Chain A
Amino acid sequence: MICSALARDFHRNDAGGDSPVQPVISVHDLAKRYRSTLRSDRAALLGLTLDVPRGEIYGFLGPNGAGKTTTIKLLLGLIRPTGGGGTVLGHPLGSVDARRRVGFLPESPYFYEYLRGDELLDYYGSLFGLTDPVRRERVDALLRLVGLWEQRRLSVRKYSRGMLQRLGLAQALINDPDLVILDEPAGGLDPIGRREMRDILLGLRERGKTVFLSSHILAEVETVCDRVAILHRGELVTVGRIGDLLAGSREMELTIHGANGSLARHIETIPGATIHHGMDATVVVVPEQRFVYPVIDLVRESGGQIVSLGAKRERLEDVFVKLVGARDAAGGPAPDKNGGAA
């Protein structure tokens, strides 16, 4: 409800050099090397090429040190690329025109502790050149949206980690941005806070905003994102729609009651089959449908009972671990999940 109120009250920022079909973020061969000593440097990003479509929630994933934060800093002009380039909302990376229409929540945000919550938002609103009435209206609406209305007059010094995260999201939305870049937005949030964050992100998408979300919480990403890109050691491992990434598996899953030791031993002889023993059920995963029938026969013979049978639903975490793990094992680029080049 508050999201729709914001949508009604906020003035749209329609000015800009980009067209509706143009990707909101477009980078080509973007590279960054950090100088670690006088003679050596460290590659943080190796030729990233990425297009983020308009109006989507785009997940940007990768293990620690993959280059996610480096990419975000390059998009915002906090650091400069050592190779390649790109555009944000049709403007060069880090340009003031682009930043005018971008909202950014850094990882573990830090704020001026001597300010109150409402003063802080007002200050950031002023930096966008918002007029006094617009600023007041937005500050109030955003404080209510992120659940800090009651604590608005409290010094930021007294805010908990979760409250700072909420305040960080509010300041990222103060300019009613077309593109919201969030670096680990769920950090420090409790389950209710995460749910509220998710609702806010979905609300932004409903209003046609683009969200570029870097996160480690893959379950959250899977729930809200339309598309994800996985980065590893500065290289793009894969990119695609969540549905496509998770649909590639042909594995089947059977849940069995009353499985004994000999049944388990027999199932293990089936190529590629894996068994997970739970408290009151055993879960068997076989690589293809044709291996289901031998398992059913074995269960029947042992007097066990099949409780459920179906295609194994892969989670984003499985895909992530598989792709990143494959890259680690190979020491080079992992194959794309859908068979394409990474």
Chain B
Amino acid sequence: MIASPLFVISRQVMREAWRRRTLPVLALFGCGIIIASAFLSFFQLGTEIKFFKDVAMTVIFLFGAMATLVLVSTQLSGEIESRTIYNVLSKPVRRYELVLGKFFGATAAIAVAVAPMVTILMFFMYVDQGGSLFEAVKAGYMLWLSFVVLSAVALAIASFSSSIVCAALSVLVYVASYLKGAVIAYAGMVTYSRVAAGAAQAFYYLLPNFENLNVRMAVVHNEVVPWAYLFRTTLYAAALSAFFLYLGTQIFEEREF
């Protein structure tokens, strides 16, 4: 079977994620904490399952984000820093294939890392009859979507920066994206300046809205995430990812090694 460079690179990223052990270790830690929280929630009389679901979703969110940042920020910049890029780009590989291959490989590896944590969450929900398992899958999927967008953002940053700068900037963007609603509300409250309000607006629309992809509380409170919302947010995540990947490939295309 002849595989396209994009597929070959994606498979290589998955193999790297597994061999370097960072991702499996993070996933293992995450699973451990979720299991421990299942037993600790016993002390939360009356709200055991809510407490457990809250902790488990937070753990998936934190460990998934960490895994994404660790994996993606070392992909493109790591190739350049370790000079392995010469061996790849001297082969019949187009630069955009390298960027997209890294993206698809990383997002697949992150899905594999997040899946056991979601499975454990579902197992304990099933045992305690603590809500719809399907909603847990939806929440896991939405979290993964946020990691997909984060991967695209990190790759766009990696296309012009070093691994460390990429990791730092990606964290900054991620945190700022979660806080942006609060920032614009604060800006609206404290300033009457049009410029400041405009800047706050620009900031709001420029950064991805990760809060749209956050349905943790819906799972905790046994709310149903509508299919239409799921579909809309999937489109939103796909559009955002495409935008940042386009940006990344364009910058990477111009880069010299």
Residues of chain A at the chain B interface (Cβ within 8 Å): 73, 76-80, 96-97, 99-100, 102, 104, 106, 109-112, 114-115, 123-124, 126-132, 171, 175
Check B94 against A96 for contact (C-beta < 8 Å). Answer: yes
Q: Which residues does chain A contribute within 8 Å of B12, judged by CB atoms?
A: 112, 123
Please name 20 pairs of A and B residues whose Cβ atoms are closer than 8 Å in the assembled complex, sorted by A: A73-B256, A76-B89, A78-B86, A78-B256, A78-B257, A99-B92, A104-B87, A104-B90, A106-B83, A110-B84, A110-B86, A111-B87, A114-B15, A115-B15, A124-B87, A124-B91, A127-B8, A129-B2, A129-B5, A131-B2
Q: Contact at A106–B16, with CB atoms within 8 Å?
A: no
B82 close to chain A: CB less than 8 A: yes
Distance between Cα atoms of A79 and B254 in the complex (Å) = 9
* Complex Cα spacing A175 to B8, Å: 16
Contact A109 B87 (CB under 8 A): yes
* Min CB–CB distance B11 → chain A (angstroms): 8
Query: A123 and B8: CB pair below 8 A?
Result: yes
Having A76-B89, A106-B90, A127-B5, one finds 15 other A-B pairs with CB under 8 Å, namely: A78-B90, A99-B90, A99-B93, A102-B90, A104-B90, A110-B82, A110-B84, A112-B16, A114-B19, A115-B19, A123-B8, A126-B8, A129-B2, A130-B2, A171-B87
Contact in complex: A106, B86 (CB < 8 Å): yes
How far in angstroms is the closest Cβ of chain B from A242?
A: 27
| A120 and chain B: residue at smallest CB distance | B87
- The answer on a CB contact under 8 Å between B87 and A100 is no
Interfacial chain B residues near A175, Cβ < 8 Å: 91
**Cα-based distance from A76 to B93 in the complex (angstroms):** 11
State the total of A-B contacts with C-beta under 8 angstroms.
74
Q: Can you list the 3 inter-chain pairs with the closest CB atoms, starting with the nearest?
A: A114-B19, A104-B90, A79-B256
B133 interface residue, CB < 8 Å from A?
A: no
Question: Once bound together, how far apart are the Cα atoms of A204 and B82, in whole Å?
Answer: 30
Which secondary structure dominates chain A's binding surface? loop
B101–chain A nearest beta-carbon distance, Å: 10
Judge if B20 is at the interface, Cβ distance under 8 Å: yes
Q: Is B3 an interface residue (CB 8 A)?
A: yes
Partner of A77, one of B20, B82, B87, B89: B89
Give B159 Cβ to nearest chain A Cβ, in Å.
15
Q: Which residues of B contact A (CB under 8 A)?
A: 1-5, 8-9, 12, 15-16, 19-20, 82-84, 86-94, 256-257
Q: Contact between A128 and B92 (Cβ–Cβ < 8 Å)?
A: yes
* B residues in contact with A100, CB < 8 Å: 92
Task: Report chain A residues within 8 Å CB of B84.
Answer: 110-112
B83 to chain A: closest CB distance in Å? 4
Residue of chain A at shortest CB distance from B4:
A129
Residues on A with beta carbons closer than 8 Å to the beta carbon of B94 = 96
Asked if residues B3 and A126 are in contact (CB atoms below 8 Å), the reply is yes
Query: A77 CA to B86 CA in the complex, in Å?
Result: 10
Shortest beta-carbon distance from B17 to chain A in Å? 10
**B91 / chain A contacts, CB cutoff of 8 Å:** 99, 124, 127-128, 175
Q: CA separation between A132 and B94, bound complex, in Å?
A: 22
B89 contacts A78, CB within 8 Å? yes
Question: In the complex the two chains form, what is the Cα distance from A80 to B3 in whole Å?
Answer: 29
- How many whole Å from A76's CB to the nearest CB in chain B? 5
**A104 with B86, Cβ < 8 A, contacts A128-B92, A132-B1 known:** yes
CB neighbours of B88 from chain A (8 A): 127
Nearest B residue to A126 via CB reads: B8
The complex places the Cα of A92 from the Cα of B116 at a distance, in Å, of 49
Identify which of B3, B9, B19 contacts A129 (C-beta below 8 A).
B3
**B89 / chain A contacts, CB cutoff of 8 Å:** 76-78
Q: A104–B3 Cα gap in the complex (Å)?
A: 21
A96 to B82 CA separation, bound complex (whole angstroms): 23
Q: Which residue of B is nearest A134, CB measured? A: B2
CA A114 to CA B256, docked complex, whole Å = 26
Q: B70 → chain A, closest Cβ, in Å?
A: 15
- Residues of chain B contacted by A96 (CB below 8 angstroms): 92-94
Set of chain A residues within 8 Å of B257, measured between Cβ atoms: 73, 78-79
Which residues of the other chain, B, contact A124 by a CB distance below 8 angstroms? 87, 91
Whether B1 and A131, one on each chain, are in contact in the complex, defined by CB atoms closer than 8 angstroms, is yes
**In whole angstroms, how far apart are the Cα atoms of A80 and B257 in the complex?**
10
CA of A104 to CA of B82, assembled, Å? 17
Please measure, in the bound complex, the distance between the C-alpha atom of A180 and the C-alpha atom of B71, giving whole angstroms. 34
A130 neighbours in B (Cβ, 8 Å): 2
**Closest CB of chain B to A54's CB: distance in Å?**
20
| Residues of chain B lying within 8 A (CB to CB) of residue A132 | 1
Contacts of A73 in B (CB 8 A): 256-257
Q: Specify which chain B residues have a CB less than 8 angstroms from the CB of A102 in the assembled complex.
A: 90
Give the distance in Å from the alpha carbon of A114 to the alpha carbon of B21 in the complex.
Answer: 10
